[in-house]
Amino acid sequence: MSDKIRAIGVLTGGGDAPGLNAVIRAVVRTAAGHYGWDVIGFRDGYEGLVEKHSINLEMDDVSGLLTRGGTILGTSNTANPFAWPMGEGDKKQMVDRSGEAVEYARSLGLDALACIGGDGTLSIADGFRERGLKIVGIPKTIDNDLYETDQTFGFDTAVSVATEAIDRIHSTAESHHRVMLVEVMGRNAGWLALHSGIAGGGDIILLPEIPYDIDKICEKILWRNRNNRRFSIVVVSEGAKPVGGEAVVARIVEDSPDPIRLGGVSNVVAAQIEERVDLETRVTVLGHLVRGGTPTAFDRVLATRLGSEAVHLLARGESGRMVSLKGGEISSVEISKVANRQRLVPLDHSLIRMARETGISFGD
Ligand code: F6P
């Protein structure tokens, strides 16, 4: 890859998030429109880099993308060129195909690669950096669990969608005097449950970081009933677990770098609540709903800022970095500082303290 940039590749990896298309649009507009570079998109994340599926991205291709959910390039949360499953059954083994991927990128004349994704995608990007590719990372995830950035794009939209759902659950909970559980994504980090729980006026919020005690949950519900609040809203992160217990696994996605998919903890908690208190309990699992659809205005702006700055970084000759949001400004950090790490909710976080002070229980 030469020093002067003439062509870059772009890919979206991991679970999708609102704002991916807005980033692709910003990358193409800045790279092709502002600098006059060629831009090549890889299909389905790193899969396209290994299986040689790519398309040219011109200015016309990104017209109308700002508001569109998903990613026009497709994505994959299983494709890892450094550990690629080959063979069937007993013969199946993980093969390192990163060399082929680098060869393919070189054969396309690419001078650098923009990788849009979360910790998994950026960790793989860091592997390519070590193999000599010029890389820039752009932080995405509805989980908001990346280090070195105040926020990832997609999170604000996910919080808004979850909050609207909790608001709607509120009125039906009140009418029927029920306990309503709303389960949101968040495998290891409870940021989405924390923010949407506070915004939606949840009475109890269960996070992966704070193991719950079912008796404490019931105490809070009964206290509310005794005090004329004849309904309760429990916002549950899919990664919530009881004291001394484990999270509820919904499925194992073989070949995925992180194969465990969670889901269903709220059904377990709801059954335990009904056993202990004489109140009807219902469950709503929001799941992928919060990942779809149009990004909020905040996410559109953030995605555009990050995508555009990623291209400027490459133009300045800076690579191996991830663009980030710090104190309202866009800056950048070494990708290696972000790779293979997850930013969990600290137990002494100001939001946890404030939530407790305003009467929210974490079931502990
Ligand atoms: O990392 C984002 C995330 O949405 C997690 O919160 C969730 O556990 C996981 O992806 C779900 O993945 P999938 O789309 O494979 O079900």
One digit per residue, the tens of pLDDT, for the chain of length 364 reads 556 899 999 999 999 999 999 999 999 999 999 999 999 999 999 999 999 999 999 999 999 999 999 999 999 999 999 999 999 888 889 999 999 999 999 999 999 999 999 999 999 999 999 999 999 999 999 999 999 999 999 999 999 999 999 999 999 999 999 999 999 999 999 999 999 999 999 999 999 999 999 999 999 999 999 999 999 999 999 999 999 999 999 999 987 888 999 999 999 999 999 999 999 999 999 999 999 999 999 999 999 999 999 999 999 999 999 999 999 999 999 999 998 899 999 999 999 999 999 999 999 9
Is ligand 1 within 6 A of the CB of residue 15?
yes
**CA 73/CA 48 separation, integer angstroms:** 9
Is ligand 1 within 6 A of the CB of residue 312?
no
User: Using CA atoms in the order 296, 297, 298, 300, what is the torsion angle rounded to 10 degrees?
Assistant: 90
Is ligand 1 within 6 A of the CB of residue 117?
no
Longest Cα pair distance anywhere in the chain, in angstroms? Answer: 71
- Active site includes 96? no
Q: How far is the CA of 26 from the centre of ligand 1 (A)?
A: 25
Contact 159/310 with Cβ under 8 angstroms? no
CA-nearest residue for atom 2, ligand 1, is 15
Catalytic-labelled residue, pool 44, 143, 145, 156: 143
**CA 327/CA 308 separation, integer angstroms:** 18
The model carries a pTM of: 0.96
Is ligand 1 within 6 A of the CB of residue 75?
no
Using CB atoms within 10 Å of the CB of residue 316, give its burial: 0 to 12 exposed, 13 to 18 middle, 19+ buried. exposed
Q: How far is the CA of 262 from the centre of ligand 1 (A)?
A: 8
